[in-house]
Amino acid sequence: METFIPYIPERQDKPRSKRLTMVMDKGLSIRQAEDFTEIGALYTDFLKLGFGTSVLTPNCIEKIEIYRKADIIPYFGGTMFEVFAVRNMFDEYVDYALRSGLSMVEVSDGSWEMDRKLKLGYIEKLATRFTVISEVGSKKKDVVYTPAQWVSMMKEELQAGSVKVIAEARESGTIGIYNDDGSVNDELIARISEEVGTDNVIWEAPEKSQQAWFIKHFGADVNLGNIAPAEIIPLETLRCGLRGDTFFQFLPPEIIR
């Protein structure tokens, strides 16, 4: 069938260093996880078992196995880490992640603003046993960082061992790198992009308008996160110019009017 399809941007095979897509599972059943991998495996790099859902779903170990078999890297949402860390249960967290068969962990401080040294220490320690990603940005409206703070924190965390830093937006897409109405804080994003490097960042972008904005500004290969499972194919159409929002984005210049 491929011979009939118009040219669309090429996609690097997994494991990829860019065009990363992180999907959030908020409590799928086994069959729903299988359904997701059937349509989404090709386009999904990371699968976040969102916030503390992993301890409440009876099927977590089985789901982790399903995702791994589909060549998708599963990990616990950062809130799960914070739940253990705030209770001074770091070793128990390491045990929990290892026993669950995870190779990747997220370190965040969106709910519990921890001391910078403490956070960087966690990243360093975890990086000896896991692939680490870390998140910058608070989940709270009254905790606002300056662009310089965002940049500096992200650089420190990459330095400490994070392979990518995540820019916080919550599942709702109304905080961190976004304004209250979900619109993009473009000044902040420009600063992060220039000084931290777009390829080093995974932008949480749960809303279609946010995804389209990033693809228009940074191209098909921008790393995006907090994608709902049902939105994996619609996101890929945006990345390929197969939806109105990015229709003219990937056309050969001679046919753009």
Residues that bind its own copies (CB under 8 A): 1, 4-8, 26-32, 34-36, 38-39, 42-43, 50-53, 55-59, 61, 79-80, 82-84, 86-89, 92, 95-96, 99-100, 110-112, 139-140, 170, 172, 208, 230-234, 236-237, 240-244, 247-248, 251, 255
CB of 204 to its own copies, least distance (A): 13
Residue placing its CB nearer to its own copies in the complex, 127 or 242 = 242
Residue placing its CB nearer to its own copies in the complex, 104 or 175 = 175
CB of 8 to its own copies, least distance (A): 8
CB of 186 to its own copies, least distance (A): 19
8 A C-beta contact, residue 55 and residue 80: yes
Rounded Cα distance, 100 and 184, in Å:
36
Cα atoms found within 13 Å of the Cα of residue 227, Cβ hemisphere only:
28
Residue with tokens 């299988």: 34
Residue placing its CB nearer to its own copies in the complex, 61 or 190 = 61
Residue placing its CB nearer to its own copies in the complex, 140 or 146 = 140
CB of 148 to its own copies, least distance (A): 25
Tally of residues, the chain:
257
Residue placing its CB nearer to its own copies in the complex, 157 or 207 = 207
Question: Edge-to-edge strands of the sheet including 201-204?
Answer: 73-76, 46-49, 21-25, 224-227, 201-204, 162-167, 131-136, 104-107
The b/e string for 107-143 (b: 16+ C-beta within 10 A; e otherwise) is bbbbbeebeeeebbebbbbbbeebbbbbbbbbbeeee
CB of 21 to its own copies, least distance (A): 13
8 A C-beta contact, residue 77 and residue 46: no
